[in-house]
Chains A and B, each alone.
Chain A
Amino acid sequence: MNLLWDVRVSLDLFLGGLGVGAFLVGVVLYYVDAKAYEGFVKKSFMVAPLLVIAGLLLLLTELGRPLNVIKTIYAINPTSFMSIGIFLQSAFVAVALLIAFKVLTSGVSALSSKIVYAGAVLAGLVGLYHGFLLSGIAKEPWNNAIPVIFFVSSILSGASLMVLFNLESLENLVARFKLPLIINMVLTLELAAVFAWVYNLALTTASSKHAYDVLISSFSMEFWVLSILMGLIAPLAIFTLVILNKLSLRTVAIPTFSIIVMGSFFLKNLVVYLGQAV
């Protein structure tokens, strides 16, 4: 396959999504009870910009002329999602770094809720942009389901990563939020979005049917096994057993939240590659 965008683009979308998800889960806990979840919120706000920056640095290595990126400041193309996205990501990174600095130097209580709100809005827009970057190019597999799939995947993976970093507050999160139930709802939403995407590919036009054929023939392992079974269905099943009290969350937390994070990468990587394979 002659790839124009390789794994660095997938990694940018994955790491950026992790950062956005981590930030947003931190925002939710900040507004719910900043004092009780101080440690969690602090870690979220510190990890988020680092992940987004790591993704952006990887993306820069993919560009033929990375230094010219500075020109996107004045040569704006409003019809290009990439042009808009560069702005959004820069704004988010600036705000997220400011928040991280404040949290690190003065603690969570010193944060103004206005700046957290601004960060949350920007994080949401960046999370959506990741999918629109692809759907704006309008290749058959990069259709309008992708922004939803990517956004939900980012929330899932970012939240899972932060739970992994805060295992000590697991019981508290379960007691207050019924964590497995919420995660199962989001996993179901993601499965529905992926189903809509595949259904649309399989049934719409001749070229989308071709994309579907390539998906199920050349990418079946990445799609069915790594993205769907491992990344979505297995955690859904495990958390269902947890809800039914057949398993203890503490025992399954590390592997289950880890496969959600890995599944997010495999799904995004698959979409990036599939779009170029058709």
Chain B
Amino acid sequence: MAKKYGMVIDLHRCVGCGACDLACKSENNTPDGIHWAFHKTETYGIFPHVSYKHTPTLCNHCEDAPCVRVCPTHAMHKTDEGFVVHDPNLCIGCKSCMLADPYGVIFYNKEHAFLDYATDDSSIVKGGTFSKKELSDKSKAPFPNFNAARGADGYEAVRRKGAVEKCTFCNHRVAQGLAPACVVACPADARIFGDLNDEKSKIATTLRAHKPTVLLPEKGTNPKVFYIRNYN
């Protein structure tokens, strides 16, 4: 049977540290204001009996993905393994997918990429501060808005403005047998990623052992990111 990937987030284990958000930023080099992995927080109750809830969020790689349905060019598309991914080469930047996505996890890149990080070798204090070029050469992450992993599998590595982007479930890592960056970075092992079609996989057994919930089930999108237990 073909693989179908999904993720479980155990809210009882989650400590709300945001390591997943940061790991994603660092893996995918997302620019300011663009958060492929994010979270929502809620404070509820009446003082002094107040409580707090932290829910990590990302693209749900929905089975019935409205973003894929409305995209006029198949730029937003589904792979055989269940990843919902985006091809900026086909994107016309119409933002229909953002309007159709009920989870608000697609972002529009309205800034020019900082291409001067590849060329600008002027420094503020000569001999004292890094130039942009030096910084990108030394760190081997050429410049903000550059995603080497995307470039490796045929996408546009540089985020030029005018296209949308979102979480890919780190499909570039999965292709190499690795787990998504957010899963690896989680200090509480709150994230389980794997093949939903493999009955013996950790994700499948975990889903059988708990009553999973999904975000906005009433939207009928059939998400592949499941939540178990409660944050407390």
Contact = CB atoms under 8 A, between A and B. Distances in A.
A83 interface: yes
Contacts of B72: 72, 77, 80, 82-83, 86
B96 A64 contact: no
A68 B95 contact: no
Interface stretch (A37-45, A131-139, A192-200): A131-139
Given A68-B73, A82-B72, A137 B95 contact: no
Contacts of A139: 99
A5 B98 CA distance: 10
Contact of B92 (A4, A65, A275, A276): A65
B163 A81 contact: no
Contacts of B162: 63-65
17 contacts: A63-B94, A63-B162, A64-B162, A68-B90, A68-B91, A71-B90, A71-B92, A77-B71, A79-B69, A80-B72, A80-B96, A82-B72, A83-B71, A86-B72, A136-B70, A138-B100, A139-B99
A82 B68 CA distance: 12
Contacts of B109: 64
Nearest to A73: B73
A80 B163 contact: no
Looking at A5, A72, A86, A137, the one whose CB has the most chain B CB atoms below 10 A away is A137
A170 interface: no
Interface in A70-100: 71-72, 75, 77, 79-83, 86
A237 interface: no
The 10 closest A-B pairs by CB, nearest first: A64-B93, A64-B162, A83-B72, A82-B72, A75-B73, A4-B95, A65-B93, A65-B162, A68-B92, A79-B69
B70 A81 contact: yes
A75 B72 CA distance: 8
B161 interface: yes
Contacts of B93: 63-66, 68
Given A4-B98, A137-B99, A139-B99, A64 B70 contact: no
Q: Which label, helix, strand, loop or mixed, suits the secondary structure of the B interface?
A: loop
A137 B163 contact: no
A77 B73 contact: yes
Given A68-B91, A79-B68, 11 more contacts: A4-B99, A5-B95, A66-B93, A71-B73, A71-B90, A75-B74, A77-B69, A82-B94, A86-B72, A137-B66, A137-B96
Interface of B: 66, 68-75, 89-96, 98-100, 108-110, 161-164
B98 A65 contact: no
A71 B71 CA distance: 12
Nearest to B106: A4
Contact of A77 (B74, B99, B161): B74
Contacts, number: 81
Residue in A68, A139, A275 whose Cβ sees the most chain B Cβ within 10 Å: A68
A71 B161 CA distance: 18
Most chain A beta-carbon contacts within 10 A, residue among B74, B90, B94, B99: B94
Contacts of A72: 72-73, 92
Contacts of A136: 69-70
Interface string A117-159: 0000000000000000000111100000000000000000000
A5 B99 contact: yes
B118 to A, nearest CB: 22
Contacts of A75: 73-75, 90
A176 B7 CA distance: 68
Contacts of A83: 71-73
Contacts of B100: 137-138
Nearest to A205: B218
Contacts of B91: 64-65, 68
A185 interface: no
A68 B86 CA distance: 14
